[in-house]
A and B are shown apart, each in its own frame.
Chain A
């Protein structure tokens, strides 16, 4: 096709100073709130730290999963928006910091870290080889190290391609992608078992890893919708992303809302049906008192609302609808992680107050600053991607 000259590199994106200052203020608020609540109510402080550590780690990793999925399949439709998935990984190296901070909270968060709880408990004694503080630290650091390694390597290849336009970078990523997928599937399952499932060390669900994965991809697609539409509104994606790309993005977002519900329901129904005492505790805690309302929100808000809103074709092609539902889904995923963490500490109902919101703002601030730093340093579109031209003009003919 003779379109080559018409694709203009939109370049990088500089966010306004106001937003930057706002995000910096968020970070200050977050640190302040966390330190203050460590004094006032350490359990709540650590619970909200774990919640946000896991939520934003998943979001960054979800961006890498999205980009990897595009390389592994050789996808054409996503070429103009793949860089935004890559941009989410800018936060990933910071997970080292949040995990090391989290490590300080291990005695407060995880029952299995206390010898006096483990001794005399047959189940915990049997698990003590795996659930030990040292092994927990080492294996999770290795997992984060692997993610950061693949992120730097593959996103680095993609960025290097911007200038050289060398198709061999695509081939390199196509080789690395399946390796990452296998490493990621195992290590993310492990991270979710370690960091969330072991909050109740007696409980186990083999589906827990894939449940966290479903939520992770759910939020990553929502974030990419929001980011795409934000940059489009700023005029950075003119002539690159049209409603056909949004349609495809919307279909994926819709699909993973269904996937999350499918996994969530499967985990629930198997445990509910079998009714085994060692498994039911998790859901009994989440169906009592104030937690029933949160569980109901997950069914209605996290699944049914995006399901029916994103079902019509016009909704998926409408930037406003897609943007708002994406933002809503990001909140829904946050509530889902809250629902996984908090019932283990607060049996009577959710705690959403200054502690939780403050710590969340802190994480949001760091996430936003790192994301915008990435976008300021790099092109917002993978301009050297060999499939970009085909994708941009795909639906015009």
Chain B
């Protein structure tokens, strides 16, 4: 830990909601407000949350597609090289380049590459694994829905972006939060 995080500073204000519909509607209102940095937390995936948060499409499918094509091609090349170039051997009177026999392996390689690349890229894009962060309230893993409005980072504060703790708390209450509290950087950021 560096020196900065030893001094707890305000990281943001969090509001709790009792059901996913309320959370979704509140999230939409935050998205349309002037707050730029916010995140929603729920014990299970909430349908429509991506749109409510205004999240863009993930580039993940492109990774899957590219890796799948690569895997299929490599699967073919592997078999072509072993059975036509490196060790030509006639099996069952079939031609050396017996592509129908290659297809199952090509298929498996496609799936293997696409699957592993997707998981790997997902970890990278999400910044995982991350052992520094921990859940700031255990209830959001159980039965609570929460919305965190983050305080601007230092750079933005220099540019004159102000964060008013009280006003933010009021705002969260006005969009339906039943409980509001401030979150400090300790252990979380």
Binding site for B on A (CB under 8 A): 265, 268-269, 272-273, 275, 311-313, 394-397
Contact = CB atoms under 8 A, between A and B. Distances in A.
Given A269-B103, A273-B100, A311-B65, A395 B47 contact: yes
Contacts of A275: 92-93
Q: Closest 4 interchain pairs by CB? A: A397-B48, A269-B100, A272-B100, A397-B24
Nearest to A275: B92
A396 B48 CA distance: 8
A27 B16 CA distance: 66
Nearest to A396: B48
Nearest to B28: A397
Contact of A269 (B47, B65, B92, B101): B101
Contacts of A312: 61
Nearest to B104: A269
B103 to A, nearest CB: 6
Contacts of B61: 312-313
Contact of B21 (A265, A395, A397): A397
A311 B24 CA distance: 29
A265 B48 contact: no
A325 B52 CA distance: 32
Contacts of A397: 21, 24, 47-48, 52
A239 B72 CA distance: 42
Nearest to B62: A312
Contacts of B52: 397
Contact of B103 (A265, A311, A313, A396): A265
B110 to A, nearest CB: 12
A263 to B, nearest CB: 13
Interface in B32-71: 47-48, 52, 57, 61, 65
26 contacts: A265-B100, A265-B103, A268-B100, A269-B100, A269-B101, A269-B103, A269-B104, A272-B100, A273-B92, A273-B100, A273-B101, A275-B92, A275-B93, A311-B65, A312-B61, A313-B57, A313-B61, A394-B47, A395-B47, A395-B48, A396-B48, A397-B21, A397-B24, A397-B47, A397-B48, A397-B52
Nearest to A312: B61
Nearest to A272: B100
Given A269-B104, A396-B48, A397-B48, 13 more contacts: A265-B100, A268-B100, A269-B100, A273-B92, A273-B100, A273-B101, A313-B57, A313-B61, A394-B47, A395-B48, A397-B21, A397-B24, A397-B52
Interface centre among B61, B65, B100 (most CB of A within 10 A): B100
Nearest to A311: B65
A272 B101 CA distance: 9
A273 B102 CA distance: 11
Contacts of B93: 275
B40 to A, nearest CB: 13
A269 B101 CA distance: 7
B68 to A, nearest CB: 10
A20 to B, nearest CB: 42
Interface string B4-39: 000000000000000001001000000000000000
B107 to A, nearest CB: 9
Nearest to A268: B100
Contacts of B57: 313
A275 B92 CA distance: 9
Nearest to A314: B57
Contacts of A394: 47
Nearest to A274: B92
A248 to B, nearest CB: 13
A269 B104 CA distance: 10
Contacts of B104: 269
A264 to B, nearest CB: 12
Contacts of A268: 100
Nearest to A397: B48
Interface string B68-103: 000000000000000000000000110000001101
